[in-house]
Every structure is written in structure tokens, then in C-alpha cells.
Chain A
């Protein structure tokens, strides 16, 4: 039987597995989590008691259905689930996987559904311990039932900013302010496009926003995070009218929507293009997700369409795989139509909640760009006369993108700063190439242990 390996057990990976299993294939799904679900439908550890309604709100039914589908496929032996494992490298049709032990998993076809991480822009002072990504604050709340601090400021832009703020407030956390860098005018323009594509979802977002009341501010410029030895003490910001303001807090959450995590797709040989709507590099693929010989991409790692779009994209990628294998497959026409609508909605969303390009270009020299190794905007600007305006050269000379997050959280800001200095755009700066291992790995894991063969 054809061996199909799926990387990632979020909405896209689960629907891809289901579609393949329905055609009689027995896919292997590798995932880093202990329990399948992905980030947005992440499941708490065994023994936690909050209901899906409590955890996922209006999306509870979708979360339940997705979890149940996957658990049933695994129980029936139609899908092999390899949880708590990271794919570190791909080589000659074999995935090198690290978990409790090292494993080598040969495959004939690969479906990559590795999702996205928060898209971060540096704010002066963001290196303090106690500054988190918005996604981190949501994971803490959902998977652990904790707030990351006693008085929280959330800042950035995008759907998660509002959603997380309302979830935290509803759970009893103190949210001192919700600071959106998107100007209201722009939100209205993008919001109209969103409403045309998905009126109900747009309305739900507006209702959440209204519930935040006076905590919420649009068109904000973030000027700096003040901290002492214990962490943040205040967020300094400028309101839409240009007045300087300050909000006391002990914790800050930051995020500007999402950034597709292309590491594995890159290692698998996908090509990347700058996407103007999404303001980031995205892998090149056909409408169903074909990205190369035997390579298929799905979910937020391909196009940031959110969880509903990821379920569709997972089906689409598996359908393409079945087509290429000459096996019976579902008709993709309806899935493609629905994906088109998701895409129009996402484009409106990107317009409504844009990447804060000017704020990043204006960062003072003293601001940290790379949180991992404490490299400042000034350090990076100082490298450019030597390296020239190319991201990979600036990385090797200036180390921005070389730290242990492997550029996930500084790459886009680094490109913006380089582009500003060169009078160009981030797309001209080039994309940082991924290098194996896809996660920092202990060298001993590779040297001392013989790899196990294919999982059965």
C-alpha cells in the first residue's frame, strides 16, 4: 500500500487523514502534541474537566466533531497516530523523527499540515520575561486553565487579539487594555470585505469587540514596554489622536495575526513566494495544495484561512494525493468553492488588521529585534553595509534569525528593517532558508541512539 505521511494533527491534518482513510489508505500522522487537535482545538491533558463549550465557545461543535473523528479513525486502526514527536529532517523519502526515541519513517507521499505561529513585531522592551505571544496566553488559558499574569495588556492586531481578550475576561483574568495597531478606518474597509465573504463570522467578531468596551483602543502606536527585574510594569503607547498614554500591567501579550510556519514545507522542497495580501512568504502550491512531486500542503502553513479553511484544505490536499495515485476520490469542486470564500474573507481580514510595517521601520536602534540572542535594530542596521540588503547574508553576519527560535519570531521584522535601510520592500530582501533540524535537537539524540524503523 502507498505510504502517506501526514505531519501535523490539527484541523487540516485530521481531515486529510480522514479523506485518505475513506479511500482505503492507512496514513501515518506525526504530531508534537500528546492529543490531536492542533492549536485552536487544542485539548487539555487527561483529567481536565471544562467542557468543549467552555473551551471553544461557539466552535465547540466543530472541535468535538474533529476530535471524535480522529479518535475513531485511530481506534479502528485506519490511521496510525505518532504523538509527541517532532519531524527534524526529511531526506530521500524518509522523515527523521524525534520523540522519546529517534525514528526513521519512510514514505511515498507527504502531506504537510504544520500550521502557523503568531506573527510578531518587536516592541521596545519586549525581551522582558513576562512578555508572551497572544497564542501563548490562549494556550495557557485553554490547556492549563491559567492566566499568564495578574494584570495583562494585550497588543497587536488580528482576530485573536479580540477573541483572546474576551476569553480571558470571561474566565476572570484582569485585562487592563486591548491595544490594536490597526486604524479604525482600515478596519472598516477590510471588515466590509470580510462581511461580504462570511457575514455571520464577521458579526460574531464585532459582538466580541463590543463586549470589551472601553478596554479596546484602535489605531494605537506601541512605544515601549517598561519593566523591572520581575518583568513588565507598564505598556507605553500613543492613541489614535497622538496622545501619549501608559497602562500599568505585569504581563504583555503581543501578536499580529499569524505567520505560516514553512520550515517543514521548505525542507520538503516547496518553493516560496512573497504574498502581498498576507504580507509574508507562503509556499507555492496549486489550488488543491500540490507543491511538488508527491508533496501536498494544507492548512495555515499553506494559506492562513483559520480552522474552517484548514479543514477544507486538508480534504483538498488528500484529494489531490488520491487523484495522483489514481484512486477513487471525492469531487473537489465544492471544497474548492468554499476555499475560495475563505480566501476572500482572509484577504479582507489582512486588510483590516495589517502588519505594522511603519512601526517596525521606526524602531529605535536600541530596540531588541531578536529576543533569543538580544540583537538590536541598531546591530542589524550596522551589519547592512557589510552584508548588503539580503536576509540570509545579514543573518550570517548579524545573527538575526540564527537564534534558537530559528527566525520564527524575528524574520519578518528583520526583513522590514533591512528593506527600510535599502529603500526597498521585504519581498526584495529574500526569505530565510530553513535548515534541519527543524527544532533545536540535542546532538546526543543523533549520535548515541540507533534509529527505529518504520512505525507499524
Chain B
């Protein structure tokens, strides 16, 4: 099956936001989370570390950590609770040798959900 996993049902009159995922230019809308924006064009966020299946998030409330993706700079972020920003450069896997830990500096585990 081609195309994304998610379907927009409402709120489609928002400004477009361009970003890069695994080297490809994609477009989301202002107010999308990173998870929403990626899964509107893709079936999954990344591969699983411990099995053959793909990962596409699970709880969407910051509790399960299933939705990690990486910035090209190396920082890991939680896709379900990180707002999409113009020009973000994202990857489905960490770059270099840092697997699975985050780099020691720039990471910001920003969230968008209640405690």
C-alpha cells in the first residue's frame, strides 16, 4: 500500500510547513505534531529495535516512547508530542554510532500532553 497511514478528517485550512524526513521533502500543516506530519505521508516512523515490525507510535500521550525519531543533528525526539517546525530535518534512525542513546547535549524531550 502506498501513501500515508493517517487520514485528515478536519482542520485542513492551516498554513503548510515544509520539512525533511529521511532526505525527502514532505509537507505538513502548522499545528501538526511530528508524528502526524510524518504518518500522513508514510506508513511508519521507524523500524523496531527488538523485532521485525515497524513503529508508528502507540499512546500519542507521551507515555510509551514508541514514537522516537531523530533530528539530523542527532537529537532524539518524541514525535507524538513535538510540534512540527518549518525546515526540520528528521530521520527514522539515529545517525552515526549513537544508537540507541541520545547525544550528550542538544536533546530536548519536549512534550505536548498532560502529566
Interface set of A (CB-CB < 8 Å, partner B): 7-10, 30-34, 36-39, 42, 44-50, 84-87, 98-100, 113-115, 117-118, 127-133, 135-136, 139-141, 144-150, 171-173, 227, 229-231, 250-251, 261, 264, 368, 371-374, 404-405, 408-409, 439-445, 447-448
Q: Assess the A135–B114 pair: CB atoms within 8 A.
A: no
Chain A residue nearest to B44 (CB atoms) is A129
The residues in B between 85 and 101 inclusive whose CB is less than 8 angstroms from any CB of A are: 101
Residues of B within 8 A of A171 (CB): 9-10
Closest residue of chain B to A174 (Cβ to Cβ) is B7
Min CB distance B63 to A, Å, is 5
Contact check, B76 vs A141: say whether CB atoms are below 8 A apart: no
Q: Which of A87, A261, A445 has the most CB of B within 10 A?
A: A445
Query: Between A and B, how many residue pairs show CB distances below 8 Å?
Result: 209
Q: Can you offer 30 A-B residue contacts whose CB atoms are under 8 A? A: A7-B115, A32-B81, A32-B111, A32-B114, A32-B115, A33-B111, A39-B114, A48-B31, A86-B62, A98-B109, A114-B115, A115-B114, A128-B53, A132-B59, A133-B58, A139-B60, A144-B11, A144-B31, A144-B36, A148-B6, A231-B44, A231-B56, A250-B5, A251-B5, A371-B66, A441-B109, A443-B101, A444-B102, A444-B104, A444-B105
Given contacts A136-B57, A136-B58, contact A45 B64 (CB under 8 A): no
Please, how many angstroms separate the alpha-carbon atoms of A447 and B106 in the complex? 12
Which residues of B in the span 27-71 have a Cβ within 8 Å of any Cβ on A? 30-33, 36, 40, 43-45, 48-51, 53-66
Given known contacts A39-B61, A48-B31, A146-B7, what 11 new A-B pairs fall within 8 Å (CB)? A44-B11, A98-B109, A118-B59, A129-B54, A133-B58, A144-B11, A371-B58, A439-B62, A440-B65, A442-B109, A444-B103
Contact residues in B for A445 (Cβ distance below 8 Å): 107, 109
* CB-based contact A136/B61 at 8 Å: yes
Chain B residues with Cβ below 8 Å from A114 are: 115
Point out the residues of chain A lying under 8 angstroms from B55, CB to CB. Answer: 129
**How many angstroms between the C-alpha atoms of A112 and B42 in the bound complex?**
38
- How would residues 1 to 23 of chain B score, 1 for a CB under 8 Å from any chain A CB and 0 otherwise? 10001111111111000000000
The total of chain B residues at the interface (CB under 8 A) is 57
Select A250's contact among B1, B57, B76, beta carbons within 8 Å: B1
Nearest 6 CB-CB pairings of A with B: A145-B11, A374-B50, A145-B10, A129-B56, A129-B54, A136-B60
A133 to B, closest residue via Cβ:
B59
Q: Which residues of A contact B1 (CB under 8 A)?
A: 230, 250
Determine if A231 and B48 form an interchain contact, defined as CB atoms under 8 angstroms apart: no
CA distance A172 to B60 in the complex (A): 21
Using Cβ atoms and an 8 Å threshold, which residues of chain A touch B60? Answer: 132-133, 135-136, 139-140
Known: A231-B44, A442-B102. A32 touches B62 (CB 8 A): yes
Grouping DSSP codes into helix (H, G, I), strand (E, B) and loop, the A interface class, with mixed when no group exceeds half, is loop
Q: Which residues of B contact A113 (CB under 8 A)?
A: 115
Cα separation A113 to B115 with both chains bound (whole Å): 8
Which A residues are in CB contact (< 8 Å) with B58?
Answer: 131-133, 136, 371, 409
Query: Measured between alpha carbons, how far is A131 from B66 in the docked complex, in Å?
Result: 11
B108 proximity list for chain A (CB < 8 A): 100
Q: Report A-chain residues with C-beta under 8 Å of the C-beta of B76.
A: 442
Is B102 within 8 A of A149, CB to CB? no
Residues of A within 8 Å of B114, CB to CB, are 8-10, 31-33, 36-39, 42, 115
User: Which B residues touch A250, using CB under 8 A?
Assistant: 1, 5
